[in-house]
Amino acid sequence: MRGINTHKTVIEPMAKNLFLAEGDLWKLLRQRMTPAFTSGKLKAMFPLIVERAERMQTHAINAPPTGRVLDSREIMARYTTDFIGACGFGLDMDSLTTENSSFRKLGMDIFKFEVSQIIKQMLKEMFPEACKHFRIFSKIEKDANALVKTILEKRNYEPSGRHDFVDLLLEYRKKGKIVGQSIEIMKSNGMPEEVSLELTEELITAQIMVFFGAGFETSSSSTSYTLHELAYNPEEQQKVQEEIDIVLAKYNNKLCYEAVSEMTYLHCAFKEGIRMFPSLGHLVRKCARKYTFPDLDLTIDEGVSILIPVQALHMDPLYFEEPEKFKPSRFLTDFINPLTKHIYLPFGEGPRACIGERLGLMQSLAGLAAVLSRYSVEPAPETLRHPIVDPTSNIVQMCCRWITFDV
């Protein structure tokens, strides 16, 4: 279990998404939504990724000529916002050229937690029954509901043929109730009860917003940090660029699904970037049933929350040699230490691993390839070598970093 929702029956609408849901709600949502992230659907979406990546190249060209300083995180956030708008909503948002994009603002609001929200969450954790009606996401609920309602009404609540995420959810809704075996309710003979779930507009809104929020923030954070490390490691940057040039030459210098799939060293550089600075610095899980580790004689009781310090594990010399160094080559071969397989967790692991891992990966790699195929990056005068994590960031850790795009 994720362990973030503190009450089993009273769950605020925006928290009924695949990331935060628990128990049967999570199982049925995951069951229905998994087919939306197959390699075939990813490949079909890829032209939309390429179109937004090429727009990002043009945006960099149009940067102010003096110094050519661009905020890497901001430009990557706008790129991913535009891509998710196209793939998720079927909308052309053009956040790269629209300074005050409403979608970019909504994306920032999703992860900008105010003091009042933090206090409410703490109270819900300490007094789940008394504070069960507290709403943490009320700040974005009104805008999210209005946005999704507008999109659904334009499509008359029917799939439009765009094959985006909204279409997929509407198709799933037409199939009727989601039916499956419960992981919470058992019959007297020990067999699971059959449970069902109707994909209401409220649930559709929650899934769309987590697709938007999780997709843009994690990708923009991880790609901009990878650019940050490449800026400070020009020899690694050169290796990545040489590979990009060689692969693109095979495809008439055009980004495509096959080309990005062949960029092995770029993939290694990105994996190393999210090793050093994973978007989720920690994972939280709640024990669903009492369990004892035989080798440790350690028992974890039902309902106990467990915090997994992902970044601390990624930077532990016990598992990664010279962990503070940016070394993409460590991902060219399997890790020597067999424990590392269960230590490297940028997308989580197990049944609750990130369902959109492949989509996020291809989106991020395409964005990096688009930038590095045309530009070299180097630290700007204002750049901090070791960016400071924003202490107000909550689920996804964020920091500010500047990089010069050298044309």
Detail the residues annotated as belonging to a binding site for heme. 354
Give me 14's structure tokens: 């925006």
Q: What residues contact residue 370 under an 8 Å CB cut-off, 6+ apart? A: 53, 54, 56, 57, 255
Instruction: Say how far apart CA 171 and CA 173 lie, in whole Å.
Output: 5
Q: What is the 3-state secondary structure (H, E, C) of 147-190?
A: HHHHHHHHCCCCCCCCCCHHHHHHHHHHCCCEEEEEEEEECCCC
**What residue type is 338 in one-letter code?**
P
Main-chain phi, psi angles of 184, to 5 degrees: -115, -35
The DSSP 8-state label assigned to residue 64 in this structure reads -
Give me 294's structure tokens: 């035989």
Q: What residues contact residue 201 under an 8 Å CB cut-off, 6+ apart? A: 148, 149, 152
Strands (E), 268-364: 283-286, 291-293, 298-300, 305-308
